[in-house]
Structure 1
Amino acid sequence: MRHIGASIPMPFEKVYSIEENSLLGSGAFGSVVLATHNVTKNRVAIKKIARTDEGMKDFRYEVSNLRALHDHPNIVSLIDHFDDGEYLSLVMEVAEHGNLYSFVKSHGPLSEVAVKHIARQLLSGVQACHAKHIVHRDIKLENILVTAIDGDMLSVQIADFGLSTNARHPLQRVCGTPIFMAPEMASGKFYGTIADMWNPGAVIYCLLTKDIPVAGSLHEMDFNGMTEAAQHFILAMLKENPNDRATTSTLLNHTWLMDQSELTEYVQKLQLFLQDKENQEYMVLMCGGDNIDCATISLSSIASSLSDDDIGANQLVELTSQLYLTVHYLEEDFPELRDQVARTVWI
């Protein structure tokens, strides 16, 4: 066996046996096949790449980046890698349930409840990449693996880091899948990790609608049947100006992604903030007394509903959207509201 930098090559067939009818996918990069370890009999997925100069460069980045991200639950795990002088091979975990593309093709659009669960995992994986200055450059349905299914909830991992690279300096290589590509990359401009934030917006919209938004035609997006919180969440990523695009940190704290305990804490903090006499006077001045009264009534209603231990997932989505609208109208006049509420002590 030769890992990168070693001297004596050994083909992966000495360690793994490719299964019959095992092709999982193929493309310009090469192919992915199912295989079994000759000793442990564990099943794996093996990505084979032709050993060209460009393929070798991408292979080195893919191995390095997967190693750097090896302990993250929403990033596919690299088990081993081989270089036999003709092909480069990466051995990875196998996703028994395929990828999101095949899942949506078979099951159709998913509910907001299911998509919220996926979005949290997807953004957590992207956040881990960006924390290490890694830009993926090809996040799409086909590159998001489904590792487990529990009712309507899917566990997912980001895969195929073949185009990933270090983004400590501005990049200009145009690569990836055009329909999922950030506008600045597609137009050949310099870009950084924020280019990756367009893709999750497109993926999440597609999961909810089975359509893919296209830069320059965002006005044609159909949000029928979607909560306003979900719409805002998606559009925060689909900003054609990368400087206006939301980051993973912002999105992971977005109202739409809150679970019941997070929603309860935020509502009670906001209520405490508005009950403070000094804050209340300032907010009335900034937002108007009628708006503050309406917000207070809405928050009381949301808090009452959240106190129910048997609240359902769909009801939680509706309460999340109600809270989003309540806060959104206040933030239009007082953009610092969320930061101010975050500093409120809640016991």
Structure 2
Amino acid sequence: WGFPAMAYTPAPSKNVDVGSNPSPPMAVNRDDEKSLTNSQTPAPLVDAADSQRRNAASLPSERSSVTLSDIERVYEFGRVIGDGNFAVVRECRRRDGGELLALKIVERSKLVGREHMMQNELSLLGSLCHPRIVRLFTHHHTRTHSYLVMELVSGGDLFEAISDRGKFPEAEAGLIVSDVSEALEYIHRKSIVHRDLKPENLLVERVAASVCRLKLGDFGLAMVVTEPVFTICGTPTYVAPEILHETGYGVAVDVWALGVILFVLLCGFPPFRSRERDQEELFKLIKQAQLHFPSPYWDSISEEAKSLVRCLLEVDPTLRLTAEQTLQHPWVKAMASVCMQRALTDRNQRKLQNAGAKIKDNSEELLTDKTQQHCGSKEKVTLRRKTQLSMRESDDYSPDLNLQSRSFDHNKTSESINQSMNNLIFQTPPLCPNPNLQPVECLAKAIVFSDI
């Protein structure tokens, strides 16, 4: 519930030119996006069977009141990873098993008149279990706050990713559409409509350097639909035209929002935008649904991607693609496959690099050990004696002089040491199969063959 609900009262229409000269591109601004609901708020949903919730050991049941001390006895609070108007999300760790989780802390005094939002999230999200949907494990309530223990998704949200990158390659955009379509197909089969699908409610799970998977969260406006709904709600940029026309809507509004998200992913700005950031002008453009792909921003985008955008942003909800059809769209399947193959390749390359580094370290240790074995104590004594003899032959060596007063030719000494080392190498047992190799190469070969 990152944004407050706000009443919507239609205003006189303005004359808007939506011809071939669309507004200049304007990126989505988080501050401009306010969820909107009218005064006819939906009734709270009846609690669904919660087979997926996990009981928190050492805490009372979810319907019982607890104290903050009770919660802190079970969970160790961590850093803040999200902050909205009604809730703060923190990392937390279970003290018994060390499991990392997310703890959504809701200040209930700020939910007056919007209690149904939390009721919806508890009853719906708690009953869902899907890899592309954020899990709700359990929830507890003190006198002033509610604590929702949820799956930790630590990669931020899609809005932050769009803000950082501007736009996405087609392959990554296709994988994102695939992930969101999976989540929507799952909840739509259960007759659940999300009604607030937007980048802020899609959490990022990074699986490779350039590949991320998404999880759908924030079910505060979600509801079960068994007949057309007339409540005006959602977020202006992503709201479907049938919501604004007040003709009744269903799960297809989520697919429209997915089309807006895909448009933003591919070019960096939304398909319908007001020059003056005027909400009424924006709603008029959405209801007219005249779609443009302005140059040069769309020049490099494939026709297959543009075709999918048109199918998702179809003004007639009965002709619009469903989530299941979107998931099976050829472009989505192809792009998701390319992206996942890239992630697999990156993962394998990292494994090879790690294995290569480990082999190199082991080889260096082995070479050091073998060298020390071939240059044992007897050889070292011989080398020391030969070196001393060379020093006596080239210097005025006097045993009565201390080390600081001794002087000798370093070059001659180095040559003598090298010659002695070579003699030692060739005096070792003939492990090397090729006597023409250089001394160092021969030693390396000897080490390798001695390991066989």
- One fold, TM greater than 0.5? yes
1:251 aligned to 298, 302, 326, which one? Answer: 326
1:34 aligned to 72, 88, 91, which one? Answer: 91
Q: CA deviation at 1:181?
A: 1.1
Decide which moves more: 135-144 or 162-171.
Answer: 162-171
For the Cα contact (< 8 Å) 2:263–2:270, is it kept in 1? yes
Decide which moves more: 193-202 or 222-231.
Answer: 222-231
Q: Could you tell me which amino acid in structure 1 is paired with residue 90 of structure 2?
A: V
Give aligned-pair identity as a percent.
26
Structure 1, residues 9-68: CA drift from partner, whole Å, max 9, x if none? 344444323324x141313x4332333333333332222333346443222221222233
2:81 matches 1:19: no
2:256 matches 1:198: yes
Q: Distance in 2 between matches of 1:262 and 1:150?
A: 14
In structure 1, what is the equivalent of residue 172 of structure 2?
A: 114
2:288 matches 1:219: no
**RMSD between superposed Cα atoms in Å:** 2.6
Decide which moves more: 185-194 or 104-113.
Answer: 185-194
Flag the 1:179–1:232 CA change in 2: closer, same or farther, 3 A.
same
Q: Distance in 2 between matches of 1:17 and 1:224?
A: 51
Structure having greater relative contact order (Cα 8 Å, sep ≥ 6): 2
2:86 matches 1:45: no
For the Cα contact (< 8 Å) 2:76–2:93, is it kept in 1? yes
Aligned residues: 261
Q: Distance in 1 between matches of 2:81 and 2:323?
A: 34
2:299 matches 1:233: no
Q: Distance in 1 between matches of 2:336 and 2:65?
A: 55
TM-score calculated relative to the size of structure 1: 0.68
Structure 1, residues 231-289: CA drift from partner, whole Å, max 9, x if none? 111111112222221101221221212349999xxxxxxxxxxxxxxxxxxxxxxxxxx
For the Cα contact (< 8 Å) 1:83–1:89, is it kept in 2? yes
Flag the 1:83–1:200 CA change in 2: closer, same or farther, 3 A.
same
In structure 2, what is the equivalent of residue 78 of structure 1?
A: 136
| Larger radius of gyration between Structure 1 and Structure 2 | 2
Q: Distance in 2 between matches of 1:231 and 1:13?
A: 51
Structure 1, residues 293-329: CA drift from partner, whole Å, max 9, x if none? xxxxxxxxxxxxxxxxxxx98xxxxxxxxxxxxxxxx
Decide which moves more: 82-91 or 153-162.
Answer: 82-91
Q: Distance in 1 between matches of 2:264 and 2:176?
A: 12
In structure 2, what is the equivalent of residue 143 of structure 1?
A: 201
Which structure 1 residue ranges, 5 or more long, are not aligned? 264-311, 314-347
Q: Distance in 2 between matches of 1:15 and 1:241?
A: 51
Q: Secondary structure at the match of 1:258?
A: helix
Q: Could you tell me which amino acid in structure 1 is paired with residue 142 of structure 2?
A: D
2:125 aligned to 50, 66, 69, which one? Answer: 66
Q: Distance in 2 between matches of 1:227 and 1:233?
A: 10
Q: Could you tell me which amino acid in structure 1 is paired with residue 143 of structure 2?
A: G
TM-score calculated relative to the size of structure 2: 0.53
Flag the 1:24–1:135 CA change in 2: closer, same or farther, 3 A.
same
2:216 aligned to 138, 153, 158, which one? Answer: 158
For the Cα contact (< 8 Å) 2:289–2:315, is it kept in 1? no
Structure 1, residues 178-219: CA drift from partner, whole Å, max 9, x if none? 111112223444211111111111111111111112223643
Q: Secondary structure at the match of 1:243?
A: coil
For the Cα contact (< 8 Å) 2:174–2:333, is it kept in 1? no
Q: Secondary structure at the match of 1:68?
A: coil
